[in-house]
Structure 1
Amino acid sequence: MIQKYVCFHLLLHTNEAISVIIEKENVHIMTEGDRTMKVQTIKVELAETLKAKPNGAHLDFGTIFTDHMFLMDYKEGEGWYDPRIVPYQSLTLDPAAIIFHYGQTVFEGLKAYITEGGEVQLFRPEKNFERLNHSNDRLCIPHIDEQFALEALKQLVEIEKDWIPTEEGTSLYIRPFIIATEPYLGVAPSKQYKLMIILSPVGAYYKEGINPVKIAVENQYVRAVLGGTGEAKTAGNYAASLMAQEVVSKDGFAQVLWLDGVEKKYIEEVGSMNVFFKINGEIITPALNGSILQGVTRDSVIQLLKHWGLPVVERRIAMAEIAEAYESGTLEEAFGTGTAAVISPIGQLTWEEKDLIINDGKTGEISKKLYDTLTGIQYGKVEDPFGWTVKVGSN
């Protein structure tokens, strides 16, 4: 294997801006002022044999993976150590590893895009690592250094930039995640962890694309409850959602609309996305309440709507209110938001055996504008007034 070494010089206990100087095969990250520095060296082991790149016009979501991945380990008393980029490979874990038995894990999802000018860029990646640490808090996992993780990610994407597809609507999906690796069958937080980042070239998450989908309102199963892990991005939340999805998919529904886990009357999320409704000109999304994931796309949509001067509110909203708005003709649009699909218009909600056809089953004006603007910013086609995009490499 070919090896090279990349040095990252990181701040301790400061949020001061940093600068990056690339010198041959070393990347030096330095503060603008005189601060105590921590030096981490990312070892890079390049694969001797590279995989064939897939046809970008025929990409399923999350089935193909690139040549390399990032790993870093944690041990109580030592902290996070041994950051490295290595060829994509299987893991060897003890059968008693805590992840297998008690599900102590968190993950994130973001994307890398190729702009029309050939540049590689990320969309608000700092928010993903900030949220990863928020999930870490809930799952009793030690914090990662967000700045270091972002720079490590950029280095990995720079190595794998030839994997980023260029066809319309495609991108390189990025999955950072942490698993508990200590071999222990007691119910307690692990003392050992592994942070990993893997990459996957992807097409559209929903084959329907920006076309409206059919959603069933879920009345039996629940995704999460207040006080649980709903606001954390952890595997158990998604495992809990599988049964409901399996049931409704047999009837042609793309996903389920989740109601609160106590009264089963207030709307929370749609599938694995946040959800918005336009009622009588006002755009409403469920307020974050401890059981709803704080989506990066959700936050971006709220900022965009405010930027456009449109009325948007975060509050508790009951499914009965949606049904009443439908009956009165004031339910104008509904859509889900998330990294994978960006904007997913809802053309039909089925609740208590009644079909609520929204906007004649067509994509709404706001949904389309949000989709075009967000994807335009992500691909560098539209001006980014918020400074959301982050460039990767020198290009």
Structure 2
Amino acid sequence: MIEIKTELTTNKKQKPDLNNLGFGRFFTDHMFVLDYKEDKGWHDPRIIPYQPISLDPAAKVFHYSQTVFEGLKAYLTVDKRVLLFRPESNFKRLNVSNERLCIPAINEELALEALKQLVAVDRDWIPSTPGTSLYIRPFIIATDPCLGVSSAKQFQFIMILSPVGSYYKDGIKPVRILVEDYYVRAAPGGTGAAKTGGNYASSLKGQEMASKDGYEQTLWLDGKEKRYVEEVGSMNIFFKINGTVITPALNGSILPGITRDSMIQLLKAKKIAVEERRISINEIVEAYHNGALEEAFGTGTAAVISPIGELKWLDEKIIINNSEIGEVTQMLYDTLIGIQNGSLKDEFSWTIML
């Protein structure tokens, strides 16, 4: 076992109301920290009481956004086992983001062991009510106090934990989506395939515009031609057309979602045709008019699946499956949730039990 120093808190927090958790509002008693200096590499792994971070005002993370993050969950099963869902994939993707942002690669084995120990320390924070989980946020920030535009020489890798409620308080329901025709989320050669804060900051304006129009999310088109579908909100997107499930192929500007990959594997296991390819907004509109557009949904860590009941493209409203959850969408949601919470057998070896 990798040695990780642990300092337990002497002032435990009061646990929040399990019926009013929301998302990312409460945090556990401890956090993991790992430092990097150019002459020492990554060093001093430690679990410490949850606390504020002290940074120099000139830290590069503030000025040049040299930062990456991840998101995953731990689940408490009915028989009180703790399951992590595909954490190795998250740390592998974190290193892909690191490479794009000129951040030194982390030791993925160390990161996984640190996560296991951190979750074990704060195990009593994992909520037990149906639909709840412990959200895990690993992130890396550039702490180098220098205003020169260059890669930092000092970083911190931190993991924090947050008990979260069910994404859908009133049950899973289709959402309404505005197709964005002006702003773009990412472009070829940019950072769209990296999980970095700037991608999310650049999406806020589109989200704000969608909300003003009464829509829950934005559907992003490609940054070059503004023709091809890429992501919806902060999720990957799927369409079921004439019995085949289609999702945009990874092209360097689309985040390679772990839930996305899980859905593709599930579809193949269920013998449902699935394609990864470019798909234009015009093809979707045409499929709608031909009666071939059967279902649509987004996928991501927070919601698992977000069914789509309506798309607005220019002046046209596209109603999908009578704004009801499709059969395939529901099956995928139920299956993945069942694997994650241990109520269904994990045929894919995705979960790790603590």
Asked whether the two chains share a fold, i.e. TM above 0.5, the reply is yes
C-alpha distance in structure 2 between counterparts of 1:219 and 1:182, whole Å? 38
Counterpart residue number, 2:112: 150
1:361 counterpart = 2:323? yes
More divergent stretch after superposition (203-212 vs 83-92): 203-212
Cα distance, 1:205 vs. partner?
Answer: 3.3
Q: Which residue of 1 aligns with 2:35?
A: 73
Displacement after TM superposition at 1:269 (Å): 0.3
Structure 2 gap segments, 5+ residues each: none
Residue type of the alignment partner of 2:164: V
Secondary structure at 1:262 match in 2: coil
Q: Using the TM superposition, give the Cα deviation of residue 56 of structure 1 relative to its aligned residue in structure 2, in angstroms.
A: 1.1
CA distance in 1, matches of 2:170, 2:187: 30
Q: Distance in 2 between matches of 1:275 and 1:293?
A: 11
User: Which secondary structure does the structure 1 equivalent of 2:15 belong to?
Assistant: coil
C-alpha separation between the residues in 1 aligned to 2:272 and 2:210? 34
Q: Is the 8 A contact 1:218 1:244 kept in 2?
A: yes
Instruction: Tell me the amino acid that sits aligned with residue 383 of structure 1.
Output: K
2:282 maps to 1:320: yes
Distance in 1 separating the partners of 2:330 and 2:141: 37
Name 2:244's counterpart in structure 1: 282
Q: CA deviation at 1:206?
A: 5.0
Mapped partners of 1:183, 1:298: distance in 2: 38
State the 1:122 CA deviation: 0.5
Runs (4 or more) in structure 1 with deviation over 2 Å come to: 204-209
1:380 pairs with 342, 345, 351, which one?
Answer: 342
Structure with bigger RCO (C-alpha 8 Å, 6+ apart): 2
Correspondence for 1:203 among 154, 165, 177: 165
1:339 aligns with 2:301: yes
Query: By how many angstroms is 1:167 displaced?
Result: 1.0
Aligned residues: 354
CA distance in 1, matches of 2:242, 2:21: 39
More strand by share: 1
Give the deviation of 1:242 after TM superposition: 0.4
Letter in 2 for 1:88: Y
Deviations 1:281-327 (CA, angstroms, capped at 9, x unpaired): 00000000000000000000000000011100000000000000000
Separation in 2, partners of 1:84, 1:62:
23
Percentage of matched positions with identical amino acids: 65
CA separation in 2, counterparts of 1:105 and 1:131?
Answer: 14
Larger mean CA deviation between 381-390 and 248-257 belongs to 248-257
| TM-score with structure 1 setting the length | 0.89
Give the conservation status (yes or no) of the 8 Å contact 1:257–1:267.
yes
Question: Which residue in 1 is equivalent to 2:146?
Answer: 184
Determine whether 1:301 maps to 2:263: yes
The one-letter code sitting in structure 1 at the alignment partner of 2:329 is: S
Q: Is the 8 A contact 1:209 1:344 kept in 2?
A: no
**Matched residue SS, 2:83:** strand
Q: TM-score, normalised by structure 2?
A: 0.99
The offset of 1:154, in angstroms, is 0.5
Q: 1:103 aligns with which of 56, 62, 65?
A: 65
Equivalent residues in 2 for 1:126-145 (5 A)?
126-145=88-107
Superposed CA deviations along residues 26-69 of structure 1, whole A, max 9, x for unmatched, are xxxxxxxxxxxxxxx31111111111111111111011111100
Other-structure match for 1:38: none
Partner of 1:273: 235
User: Which residue is equivalent to 1:57?
Assistant: 19
Shift of 1:251: 2.3
Q: 1:208 to 1:263 in 2, by over 3 A?
A: farther
For the aligned residue pairs, the C-alpha RMSD in angstroms reads 0.9
Judged with a 3 Å threshold, the aligned counterparts in structure 2 of structure 1 residues 169 and 286 are, in CA distance, closer, same or farther, namely: same
Single out whichever of 56-65 and 120-129 deviates more from structure 2.
56-65
Distance 1:207 1:265, change over 3 A: farther
* Matched AA of 1:171: S
**Structure-1 separation of matches of 2:171 and 2:350:** 23
In the alignment, the residues of structure 2 paired with residue 365 and residue 158 of structure 1 have an alpha-carbon distance, to the nearest angstrom, of 37
Aligned match of 1:237 in 178, 199, 202?
A: 199
d(CA) in 2 for partners of 1:348 and 1:209? 18
Q: Secondary structure at the match of 1:157?
A: helix
Q: Distance in 2 between matches of 1:180 and 1:349?
A: 39
Mapped pair 1:117 → 2:79:
yes
Matches of 1:140 and 1:343 in 2, distance apart? 32
Give the Cα–Cα distance (whole angstroms) in 1 for the partners of residues 260 and 135 of structure 2: 18
Query: Which residue does the alignment assign to 1:13?
Result: none
For the pair 1:221 / 2:186, whether they are aligned, the reply is: no
| Higher-Rg member (1/2) | 1
